[in-house]
Amino acid sequence: MGRKRPGKDPVETSAPGAGPVAGTYPIDTGTCELVPDSFASDSWILMVNGVHSSHIDLADPRHLDFEYMRWIAALVESRWRPDASLRALHLGGAACSLARYFAAVYPGARQVAVELDGRLAELVRGWFDLPRAPLLRLRVGEARAVTETLHDGSRDLVIRDVFAGAKTPVPLTTAEFTAHARRVLAPDGVYVVNCGDTPDLRGARAEAATICAAFRYTAAIADPAMLKGRRYGNIILAGSDAPFAEDPGLPRALLGGGVPAHLWDDAKLRSFAADARILHDPVSS
């Protein structure tokens, strides 16, 4: 989640639990609700402060219910083979749906999920069959503060999926933060962001411009209606200093599922962002 909790140092949590139990629970940033998925047995929906946050299928970690997560997974799988020792950082933990997916696809992966809400992290660890450390560590802390502490070149993949309500906190969208994300990536690493935006796409253009300025190669994934500015939704933006693979299987994979998506290459994304301003931290007075 995206709101700061001053004075809270990042710590790893590891709380035992007896599995998921439907209900509403107090957490550090408000409340969360755990709801059984009425359409799928052994599946659960996690809502945080009234907003759909995660979906978990206990029977199949490779089942991703949210379309944008499937798009991210397809992009990652086009870059790394299943035998890769993937080092992944997830900014925004919630129920760790993608981390759980990558643990199944990449058995050699080492992952860290950063979650601002310590109580939520404890509940999630107790409810769901998340891989244990060192395969998956849950780290409590604010996403930018944690990223700034990480060593150069220490991650292959950084995924930013942080929201406060319907928006990503501004400090996680700026050129200064993006430079930190790039710094912690290996030379062929990939930075992926989940950008939620309204039909005017002003936010997506600005984020795209910021990522285009930071990385040599970029890409975007979204459904056609979103890309044409016809509705509110998600656009996946990605940056890397190594070219994205021209994998014919990736566009085909993105066209599958309930919401088919299109892949924009570097040239198309840079054209989309050409007139947008790069986002920056406020200047200190």
For residue range 31-55, what is the model confidence (pLDDT) as tens digits?
999 999 999 989 999 999 999 999 9
Residue 5: what pLDDT?
Answer: 39
pLDDT band per the 50, 70, 90 thresholds, residue 17:
low
Are 212 and 276 in contact by the 8 Å Cβ rule? The answer is no
Helix axes 67-79, 97-105, angle to 10 degrees: 30
**Residue 132, amino acid:** R
Residue 7, pLDDT > 60, answer no
Residue 15: what pLDDT?
Answer: 44
Dihedral of CA 131/86/73/148: which sign? positive
Query: Virtual CA dihedral for 206, 208, 214, 218, nearest 10 degrees?
Result: -170
Residue 278: what pLDDT?
Answer: 98
For 27, residues 6+ apart whose C-beta sits below 8 A from its C-beta are 48, 117, 119, 120, 123
Residue 9: what pLDDT?
Answer: 41
Residue 283: what pLDDT?
Answer: 85
3 state SS of 274: coil
pLDDT band per the 50, 70, 90 thresholds, residue 285:
low
Domains and CATH numbers, the chain: 65-272 (3.40.50.150)
Residue 85, pLDDT > 90, answer yes
CB atoms closer than 10 angstroms to residue 110:
18
Q: Characterise 149 by phi-psi region: left (phi > 0), alpha (psi -120 to 50), beta (else).
A: alpha
Residue 58: what pLDDT?
Answer: 96
Q: Which of 87-101, 105-119, 249-263 has the lowest mean pLDDT?
A: 249-263
Start-to-end C-alpha separation, the chain: 28
Segment (H or E) for 239: strand 233-240
**Rounded average pLDDT over 244-263:** 89
Query: Virtual CA dihedral for 140, 141, 147, 149, nearest 10 degrees?
Result: -90
Residues shown for the chain? 285
DSSP 7: T
pLDDT digits (tens, 9 = 90+) for 208-234: 999 999 999 999 999 999 988 888 889
Would the pTM count as exceeding 0.85? yes
Distance CA 122, CA 140 (A): 10
pLDDT band per the 50, 70, 90 thresholds, residue 13:
very low
Residue 247: what pLDDT?
Answer: 84
**Rounded average pLDDT over 98-126:** 97
pLDDT digits (tens, 9 = 90+) for 142-171: 999 999 999 999 999 999 999 987 789 999
- Average pLDDT score, the chain: 92
pLDDT digits (tens, 9 = 90+) for 52-78: 999 999 999 999 999 999 999 999 999
pLDDT band per the 50, 70, 90 thresholds, residue 284:
confident
